[in-house]
Amino acid sequence: KNEVEQSPQNLTAQEGEFITINCSYSVGISALHWLQQHPGGGIVSLFMLSSGKKKHGRLIATINIQEKHSSLHITASHPRDSAVYICAVRFAMGETSGSRLTFGEGTQLTVNP
Amino acid sequence: KAGVTQTPRYLIKTRGQQVTLSCSPISGHRSVSWYQQTPGQGLQFLFEYFSETQRNKGNFPGRFSGRQFSNSRSEMNVSTLELGDSALYLCASSLAPASVETQYFGPGTRLLVL
């Protein structure tokens, strides 16, 4: 069982729809990241969270530490949002071992016009 | 400010050869982390360097090694290449150790081992 689980694996939406991608993890973490990867491989870091909620434009990320769960929401989705969204966590281990990121398998989002 | 750069962008090698990949972090960033991405295993952490010291290493064999120079540029080396080493290799940089900072990713080096 992967330590970081994402759902759904694939998501197809119509332009304008509200989108939610979920991420759950198995043990305590020090931080959770949401990443976006476009075709061609480039990765952009969208959010780094350790508690609560963050918003950037049409993107909102939330985390519930007690439930070990995070969600990434996209409001008013657009075809340019089509990408793979990846959840990654830093487990709450020692100072140096906690520097490694453990990744979910990613969610392939396709937004149709 | 220039982003993270990686060279080369594409590389073809044969089994048994060795390869060296380079990563230049954003100016002022002292932490560089390396990741491997394959269709089967997804993204996996290789190692992190901060101020020329390896802070952490992922679960990869000793054929995978790296180093960081005084100007924060980093290289990773894979010796005795295997077919399974075909992957996208990404590096990411941050100001402080990666555990406390957002990382900025480079475009990656796509390695094909024949």
Whether residue B99 and residue A48 make contact (CB cut-off 8 A), yes or no, is: no
pLDDT of the residue at A96: 47
pLDDT of the residue at B55: 87
Instruction: Report the gap between the CA of B101 and the closest CA in chain A (Å).
Output: 8
Is B56 near chain A, with CB under 8 Å? yes
Is A105 near chain B, with CB under 8 Å? yes
Q: Any idea which residue has 């390896």 for tokens? A: B54
Which helix (H) or strand (E) segment is A53 a member of? Answer: strand A52-56
Q: Which of A35, A41, A96 sits opposite B56 (nearest CB)?
A: A96
pLDDT at A97 over 70: no
Which residue of chain B comes nearest to A99, CA vs CA?
B99
Indicate which of B11, B56, B59, B112 best probes the interface with A, i.e. most A CBs within 10 Å of its own CB: B56
pLDDT tens by residue, B32-48: 999 999 988 899 999 99
Give me Rg for the CA atoms of chain B.
Answer: 13
Average predicted confidence (pLDDT) for chain B: 93
Is B20 near chain A, with CB under 8 Å? no
Give me Rg for the CA atoms of chain A.
Answer: 14
- What are the contacts of B101-104 at 24+ separation with CB within 8 A? B101/B31, B102/A33, B102/A45, B102/A48, B103/A33, B103/A45, B103/B31, B103/B33, B104/A45, B104/B3, B104/B4, B104/B26, B104/B29
pLDDT at B92 over 80: yes
At residue B1 the predicted structure's pLDDT band, cuts being 50, 70 and 90, is: low
